[in-house]
């Protein structure tokens, strides 16, 4: 990779890193601010999920507890919503916003929301691709040298398969963003509809969810930069070698 291209990549990664740090600091700061705002309804994160599931006739979903802060997640294959220590027993604006967001994922699963189904389908592809992408690129480069006079396209083909698998990570991040935004929208609607949040408490909940969305945007941008760098690097290597063979 030419020095100028490498410099552009370094600058892009530094910008993405700075944005990721800003997004992380913002979500933690916003959560801490609205975690200090007690709900007038007195509903905790766990109670919020129970009430939302009960009103929507959702059965077979357990509520678990995991250690840490903002480690909340919905595990569809296990049928469980895991709420973190910072959410489970807290009766704050921030806690119910996060809890309702996870409930939003449950509703996406129940409704067959397109982007949620796409993200679920991509999980095994991303896991598989993350293990094999780099080895395949390296194997492709080696094959390109070994088969220089036999099949010059073989190494390039193998390397590009690695690039495509690596691109699965970018595609996963791309699909994740609308999934998270949709879950946050559903969360706000459910919280107001069930009277868990008062009208003047809703803006705080939306700020918590908007701050969290920034972290997914940062992941998307970082994934895009790495994918483009990966693809252009492979193309440049094989492009130079093909020119040298002529």
For the question of whether the overall pTM of this predicted structure is more than 0.85, the answer is no
> Is residue 184 pLDDT above 70, yes or no?
yes
- 95/100 Cα distance (integer angstroms): 9
Residue whose token pair is 């940062």 = 218
Q: What total of structural domains would you count in the chain?
A: 1
pLDDT number for residue 150: 47
| DSSP bridge pairs for 81 | 63, 74
What integer best gives the mean pLDDT of the chain?
84
- 246/153 Cα distance (integer angstroms): 14
Percentages of the chain per state (helix, strand, coil), in multiples of 5: 75, 5, 20
> Is residue 81 pLDDT above 50, yes or no?
yes
- 167/178 Cα distance (integer angstroms): 18
Is residue 102 annotated as part of the catalytic site, yes or no?
yes
pLDDT tens, residue by residue, 101-151: 999 999 999 999 999 999 998 887 766 545 554 555 555 555 555 544 445
Q: At a CB cut-off of 8 Å and minimum separation 6, what does 231 contact?
A: 163, 167
- 175/178 Cα distance (integer angstroms): 6
What range defines the domain where residue 141 resides?
3-245
Please report the DSSP string for 155-179 in residue order.
HHHHHHHHHHHHHHHHHHHHHHHHH
Between strands 80-84 and 62-66, the pairing is parallel
Selecting among 102, 180, 189, 201, the annotated active-site residue is: 102
């Amino acid at each position: 990779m030419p020095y100028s291209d490498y410099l552009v990549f370094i600058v892009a990664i530094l910008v993405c890193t700075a944005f990721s740090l800003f997004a992380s600091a913002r979500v933690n700061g916003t959560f801490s601010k609205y975690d200090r705002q007690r709900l007038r309804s007195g509903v905790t994160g766990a109670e919020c999920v129970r009430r939302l599931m009960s009103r929507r006739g959702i059965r077979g979903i357990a509520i678990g507890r995991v250690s840490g802060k903002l480690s909340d997640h919905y595990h569809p294959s296990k049928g469980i919503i895991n709420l973190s220590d910072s959410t489970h027993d807290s009766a704050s604006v921030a806690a119910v916003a996060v809890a309702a967001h996870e409930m939003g994922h449950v509703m996406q699963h129940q409704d067959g929301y397109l982007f949620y189904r796409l993200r679920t389908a991509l999980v095994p592809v991303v896991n598989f691709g993350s293990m094999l992408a780099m080895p395949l690129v390296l194997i492709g480069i080696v094959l390109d040298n070994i088969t220089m006079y036999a099949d010059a396209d073989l190494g390039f083909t193998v390397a590009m398969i690695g690039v495509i698998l690596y691109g699965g990570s970018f595609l996963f991040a791309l699909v994740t963003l609308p999934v998270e935004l949709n879950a946050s929208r559903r969360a706000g609607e459910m919280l107001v509809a069930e009277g868990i949040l008062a009208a003047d408490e809703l803006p705080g909940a939306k700020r918590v969810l908007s701050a969290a969305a920034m972290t997914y945007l940062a992941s998307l941008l970082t994934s895009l930069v790495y994918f483009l760098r990966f693809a252009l690097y492979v193309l440049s290597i094989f492009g130079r070698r093909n020119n040298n063979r002529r």
